[in-house]
Amino acid sequence: MKIFKFEIRNYRSCIHTVFNMNENLTALIGINGVGKSNILYGLQLFNKIKSNRRFFNEIAKEEFSKTQINLEIYINNRMTFVRADFYYETNERNIDVINFYEIKYRFEGSNARKWNKIIPEAYDISEFIDEKRNFQDLPKRYQNESIKFSVDLIKSLANISYYSATQFSDPSKCPVSLELSDFRISSQRRKSDVHEKFIHDLYTAKKTSLPTFNLFLNTVGESGLELIQDIKFHVHQIPSSSYKVKTGGEIQKIENFKKIIVPSIKIDGLSLSPNQLSEGTFKTLALVFYILNDSSDVLLIEEPEVSVHHGLLNSIIELVKQQSHQKQIIISTHSDYVLDMLKPNNILLVNKKENQGTKAQSLTKTLSKNEYKVLKEYLQTSGNLGEYWKEGGFDDE
């Protein structure tokens, strides 16, 4: 899936925000507070279309916030228009809780211009189908092209991935060990714990010998960024007992074992736990790992520059640019150093205007012909995009 156009209405600072995206890499550039994050958060509403579905009372519509998102995407070799209506409420943790949503689509060139509504069963089927189950396992009435396309669309939209600077900013939150159950992460792990998930994902990638894990080690290791020398996981099997009360009050002791993994990261000859790493090192390891290993079609990265020194940042942005040919990547930033490494056609200038909310425009369309000529001359003779932006070359900012 590739997103070519994004339009969002009535979402936080995005009163009506619409713009075209680059099919490989798009960078949202702007100062703090203009709404770059809100654009990324809006795209993340699709992450919740496979869960949190509730019975929706039409009478209660006015109690919830409503956001509409329109997309022009290329999926399954077809240009497709998507319209999604989300009814939600934002809790005290600033998290959007979806109460109801409706998604429709139509294909480019359709004479009838008729919207096809995704039926509720398609959402359940998308959860049913995984690596071990496919459409041949479904009842015959669901084995049709309409259902298959709906499921592909749901999976692609729901799997849009997001990583931010703040997620990995405190290595002390990372556990020194993880408990496994049949080599799966313990059900006691909180899904929201991204530090724990990162260690588990690292372990899984190494255990299954994913080619990208070796690429990751080469990238962050001595032949690449020189952040670390090696990553090892020690698996321990520990005796564990539980008790069961049987009928009549008899207590039965149940002997079993639990498996824990202990990660060890070698730096300068020392073996360290993940929570002993510096913030910059931990965050860079996590970002590089997910840039290389994330399998979604669209990857969102917020402020990759935070806690990373400029030498490493250059390498991360180069990696982003390389991987953007494998999956569509959208980043937000207010760093002139990030801007230094991008081309004008990759950049969207984001600003916020009174009573109009967040606006995003392509750099090449924002500037007049004369302004663009001045910019090209500046890039050829004087400096780079970051310096031009820092010196106030973009009047909109």
At 59 the pLDDT is: 56
The CA-based angle 326-224-312, given to 5 degrees, is 80
pLDDT band, residue 397 (cuts 50/70/90): very low
Q: Are 200 and 214 in contact (CB under 8 A)?
A: no
Q: What is the β-pairing status of strands 328-333 and 178-181?
A: unpaired
Per the structure block, which two tokens stand in for 121?
A: 């069963």
Q: Is the pLDDT of residue 185 over 60?
A: no
pLDDT band, residue 183 (cuts 50/70/90): very low
Q: What is the β-pairing status of strands 25-29 and 347-353?
A: parallel
pLDDT band, residue 1 (cuts 50/70/90): very high
The CA-based angle 202-206-211, given to 5 degrees, is 110
213/69: higher pLDDT: 69
Contacts 24+ apart (CB under 8 A), 210-219: 210/293, 212/292, 212/293, 213/293, 215/292, 216/288, 216/289, 216/292, 216/293, 219/288, 219/292, 219/319
**CA 106 – CA 83 distance, rounded (Å):** 9
State the DSSP H helix or E strand holding residue 87, giving kind and residue range, or none if neither. Answer: strand 78-90
Identity at 271, one-letter amino acid code: S
The CA-based angle 141-146-149, given to 5 degrees, is 125
Q: What is the pLDDT of residues 137-146, one digit of tens each?
A: 778 888 888 9
**CA 72 – CA 21 distance, rounded (Å):** 10
**CA 169 – CA 52 distance, rounded (Å):** 28
Q: Is the pLDDT of residue 203 over 50?
A: yes
**For 189, how many CA atoms within 13 A lie in the half-sphere containing its CB?**
21
366/221: higher pLDDT: 221
Give 75's strand partners. 78
Give Rg (Cα) of the chain: 24
**CA 156 – CA 133 distance, rounded (Å):** 17
Per DSSP, the residues of 206-219 read HHTT-HHHHHHHHH
Q: What is the pLDDT of residues 6-33, one digit of tens each?
A: 999 999 999 999 999 999 999 999 888 9
pLDDT band, residue 58 (cuts 50/70/90): low
Q: What is the pLDDT of residues 343-379, one digit of tens each?
A: 889 999 999 988 899 999 998 888 777 877 888 787 7
Contacts 24+ apart (CB under 8 A), 127-134: 127/50
At 55 the pLDDT is: 53
Length of the chain: 397
Give 263's strand partners. 233
Give the three-class secondary structure for 396.
coil
Q: Are 342 and 314 in contact (CB under 8 A)?
A: no
DSSP structure class, residue 326: T
Identity at 28, one-letter amino acid code: L
DSSP structure class, residue 160: -
Average of per-residue pLDDT values in the chain: 86
pLDDT band, residue 128 (cuts 50/70/90): confident
| Arithmetic mean of pLDDT, 71-88 | 95
What lies within 8 Å, CB to CB, of 257 at 6+ separation is 237, 238, 239, 240
391/81: higher pLDDT: 81
Highest mean pLDDT (candidates 338-347, 368-377, 387-396): 338-347
Task: Quickly tell me which residue has 């990208």 as its tokens.
Answer: 212
What lies within 8 Å, CB to CB, of 396 at 6+ separation is 349, 351, 361, 366
Identity at 186, one-letter amino acid code: S
Listed residue (89, 91, 87) closest to 68, CA to CA: 87
Listed residue (327, 315, 339, 320) closest to 393, CA to CA: 339
